[in-house]
Amino acid sequence: MSDAAASATVDPGSAAADGQPPGVAVFDGDWNLVSVDQATADLFGRRREELTGRNIWIALPELAGTIFHSFLLHARSAGGRVTWRGFYPPAGCWLDATAQRAGDRLHVSLRRSVGPVPDGTVDPAAEAAEYDRLRFLAEVSEAMTSTLDAAESVATLAQLVVPRLCDWALVSVLGDDGGPADEGWAHRDPGRAADLDLYLSRRVRAAADDNPMVTSLLTGEPIHLPVIDPAVVEPAFGGSDEVRAAWERLDADSMTIVPLRARAETFGVLVLVNDSSRPPHGEMEIATAVEVARRASLAIDNARLYGRQLAVAETLQRSLLTPPPQPDDLEIAVRYLPASSTLHVGGDWYDAFQQPDGATLLVIGDVVGHNVDAAAAMGQVRSILRGIAYDRCEEPARVLTRVDAALTGLRIGTLATALIARIEQPPALAGSGRRVLRWSSAGHLPPLLVCGDGRVELLEAGPQTLLGADSTRPRSDAMAEVGSGDTLVFYTDGLVEQGRTGIDEGTERLVAAVRTLAGAPVDRLCDELIERIVGRRPEDDVAIVAVRCSAQDDG
């Protein structure tokens, strides 16, 4: 069955052509069945008491996604009486339906239609056309839920509806400030893509109330323009002959604007445009577009909400990961790269600051978890550790012990690995270029010492428990001497376990990479380690701190 046949107007005089009176149903503004007669209940295979007073999408879940569903959505937004004839798969029959809105109520009369084929079997071509629509709607649902990137969702929707529903399409989504945030467009003819890009990227966006896009946004209802009035488009040219010429080459003849709406908010529009070689959209095409927009809206809104949550989480995390100090005779570089497969935030952190006695304290840690909760817990642990470490010039093991006590006493309820290293220079080593490194690990990976001659050593220390494990086992410090030109590298497990690599194998890979970069400046060293091992899409968070000890003057 063609679209034209599917949307043919039903003569009310033929309502009882099959000897049955039409059924009548009335819906309120929330799609609750205010009243329903027995004929309608019989048609849907339900008792009247199962339908009356209930929301239609709950009482008849099988209706969702059908073309009859699209017809009802369209009828709600239409200004006058609309009709439909088509096959309704859940009931296995053809329906004739007429709907008209009265205030916030929608009155629908429908009856089982006489089959289009005399023997009562379904016309295979008509059935194929109906299921083709359903397959298209299923494709929309699947494609729109495949990403949580708002810009990608918008571009995907534009590509889905062209050329199925129109010659070219624009999807425009508003930002929190009410201005355009994401836009995507597509044209069926690749040769016209440049004209579409020129027009849409350089057009002047009008905010006038008579602009159909603005009207659709304000009312939350579709708008159909069987003929595009040149006066409506004129303000978009902004006096530019190039923009005007691009519009004229696009040959836009008619359009339908469907609002994107979810969670009681209209946040964008889907604009479907046909050129002069294609007729204006019919009722069923509009109904299908309404259903496409309904399905796509929730997916796009989910992506918008995800983006907002991501921005807040990243802002929180970045605010906690402050730039390192640059004390005399030490060069410090830090890097943080969020995981690409989660919410882009997690529990990895670094810290570097000077204590009151002039020693430099370096911290690297990882809170268990890979989400916003882990990032929040990381902020607590980092702040507690930073305050305790600055309060007194203590050895690293003592700092970790006091942090443990604070986490337990405050009932933070999280586990974390951490390594604290203190670089100090006793009076006896002043001016020699040599320094003392003291460190203590709470279950964290050992640091690397890159000697000035290119040798790389793994600074192992005895196994010690994680922070927050409520252990009574005493913590201890390890000590090493570092010289002028030596480099220390601290890191989290995301750098060694990339590619599902075991810790031992990943550590060997890291040592080999560091060895080849031994003479590189610390900033380049950090960047190259990320590039060579994890790229720009790490499977886990990655934090790195690199410290180079510079030469000192005796005087």
DSSP symbols for 95-106 = EEEEEEEETTEE
Separation in Å, CA 514 to CA 449, 451, 452, 504: 10, 11, 12, 15
User: Residue 169: how many CA atoms within 13 Å on its side-chain side?
Assistant: 25
Residue 438 neighbours by CB distance under 10 Å:
17
Q: Which two tokens stand for residue 25?
A: 């149903």
Residue 13 neighbours by CB distance under 10 Å:
7
DSSP-derived 3-state class of residue 40: helix
Residue 501 neighbours by CB distance under 10 Å:
16
DSSP 235-254: HHHTT-HHHHHHHHHHTEEE
Separation in Å, CA 152 to CA 117, 168, 176, 500: 45, 18, 18, 28
> Torsions phi, psi of 316, nearest 5?
-60, -50
CA gap 380, 407 in Å, rounded: 9
Residue 181 neighbours by CB distance under 10 Å:
18
Q: For the domain with range 3-123, which CATH number is right: 3.40.50.10800, 3.30.450.20, 3.40.50.11260, 3.40.720.10?
A: 3.30.450.20
Long-range pairs, 58-62, Cβ under 8 A, ≥24: 59/33, 60/90, 62/90
Q: For the domain with range 145-312, which CATH number is right: 3.20.20.240, 3.30.450.40, 3.90.79.10, 2.90.10.10?
A: 3.30.450.40
DSSP 405-466: HHHHHTT----EEEEEEEEE--GGGTTSS-EEEEEEEEBPPPPEEE-TTS-EEE------PP
CB 336 within 8 A of CB 323: no
pLDDT tens sequence for the chain (555 residues): 333 333 333 333 333 334 456 789 999 887 889 999 988 898 888 999 889 988 887 788 777 667 787 788 778 877 688 888 877 878 888 888 899 988 889 999 988 876 554 344 444 555 566 677 778 888 898 899 888 888 899 999 999 999 999 999 999 998 877 777 889 999 999 999 999 999 999 998 776 666 888 888 888 888 899 999 998 898 899 889 999 999 999 999 999 999 998 887 889 999 999 999 999 998 778 878 888 998 899 899 998 888 787 777 667 666 767 788 888 789 999 998 877 655 556 788 899 999 988 899 999 999 987 666 777 788 889 999 999 999 888 999 999 999 999 998 888 888 999 999 999 988 888 777 789 999 999 999 999 999 988 899 999 877 789 998 878 889 999 999 999 899 999 999 989 988 778 888 999 999 999 999 988 999 999 999 999 998 877 778 889 999 998 866 654
pLDDT value for 13: 37
Question: What single DSSP character describes residue 71?
Answer: H
Hey, which residues does 107 pair with through a beta bridge? 26, 100
One-letter amino acid at 297 equals: S
CA gap 400, 406 in Å, rounded: 10
CA gap 237, 317 in Å, rounded: 44
> Torsions phi, psi of 370, nearest 5?
-140, 60
pLDDT value for 189: 94
Question: What single DSSP character describes residue 500?
Answer: T
pLDDT value for 125: 59
Q: Which two tokens stand for residue 125?
A: 């071509």
pLDDT value for 225: 92
CA gap 26, 108 in Å, rounded: 6
pLDDT value for 453: 86
Q: Which two tokens stand for residue 227?
A: 């003929």
pLDDT value for 272: 96
- Among 429, 382, 428, 425, which Cα is nearest to 406's? 382
Long-range pairs, 142-146, Cβ under 8 A, ≥24: 144/295, 144/296, 144/299, 144/300, 145/299
- The structural domains of the chain, with segments of one domain joined by +, span 3-123, 145-312, 321-549
Separation in Å, CA 26 to CA 70, 99, 104, 304: 17, 10, 10, 35
Architecture of domain 321-549 in CATH? Answer: 4-Layer Sandwich (3.60)
Domains 3-123 and 145-312 share a fold: yes
Separation in Å, CA 532 to CA 364, 431, 517: 21, 36, 11
CA gap 230, 150 in Å, rounded: 32
